[in-house]
Amino acid sequence: MYRIIWVVSIMAIVAVIFVGYLYQASLPPFMPSHWNSAGEVDGWQSSDIYVWAMPIITLIIVCVLGIISHFQHDITIKSSIAYSTELLTVYMLSMHILIGMRVVQGSEVHVADILRLMAGLFIGLAFVIRDVPQNHVVGFRLPWTMADATVWRATHRVGFWGMFVGGLVVVVVTLFPFSQEGMFLLGMCAVLVGVVIPSFYAYWLAKRKSTR
């Protein structure tokens, strides 16, 4: 199954590049490339760079992770890397397509759009890491989790809920009429809390075990 995921990821990237090439003439000379916390565009790129840059960066990431996966012996770890790669591919390509569609339609890319894509990635990764075995690629690779398999398992159970709930909170935040800047800050705080809590839990559990 995980081999199919790699093929689908690469096919999706190639398809996005092909479609971007076909519709490049309908794009304006310059495309937004970065937004500040208030949702205002503060960076621009040529349409040529827009069409090629994100898909090629995504392709490079997929290839690197594919090579790393090839040298793993555990099938579960191979599958976890593949699923993580697929989620990251969907996130990056969705962001790429969203920007293009908004520009062609003459509308803005809102902070809520970006946060919802981020929340989807976060929630998806939560399910990937929940039962992932100890490894050096996917999960909370901290000194305390890598040193103790029990701490690893416990941390990733907490990490699942932290990331899952954090992602849901981000989605909920985007449903309320906050300012662009307020929505961005609340969303990022929810994401950070979802990562920080499992990290502190891993440290606390390791210290607790060492004092017994």
What proportion of the chain, given as a percentage, has pLDDT over 90?
58
Asked whether residue 109 carries a pLDDT value surpassing 70, the answer given is yes
The answer to whether 196 and 163 have CB atoms below 8 angstroms apart is no
The model's confidence at residue 140, banded by pLDDT at 50, 70 and 90, is: very high
The average pLDDT across 140-160 equals: 95
Residue 148 in this model has a pLDDT that exceeds 70: yes
Residue 12 has pLDDT above 70, yes or no: yes
Q: Give the model's pLDDT for residue 1.
A: 64
pTM above 0.85, yes or no: yes
What are the boundaries of each domain within the chain? 1-109, 135-212
In sequence order, the β-bridge partners of residue 44 are 32
From the list 166, 167, 163, 155, the residue with the least C-alpha distance to 200 is 155
Mean pLDDT, rounded, for 61-82:
92
pLDDT tier for residue 64 given thresholds of 50, 70 and 90: very high
Can you tell me the distance from the alpha carbon of 8 to that of 159, in angstroms, rounded to the nearest whole number? Answer: 28
Q: What is the mean pLDDT of residues 73-83?
A: 92
Please give the pLDDT value at position 210: 82
pLDDT of residue 99: 86
CA atoms within 13 A on the CB side of 96: 24
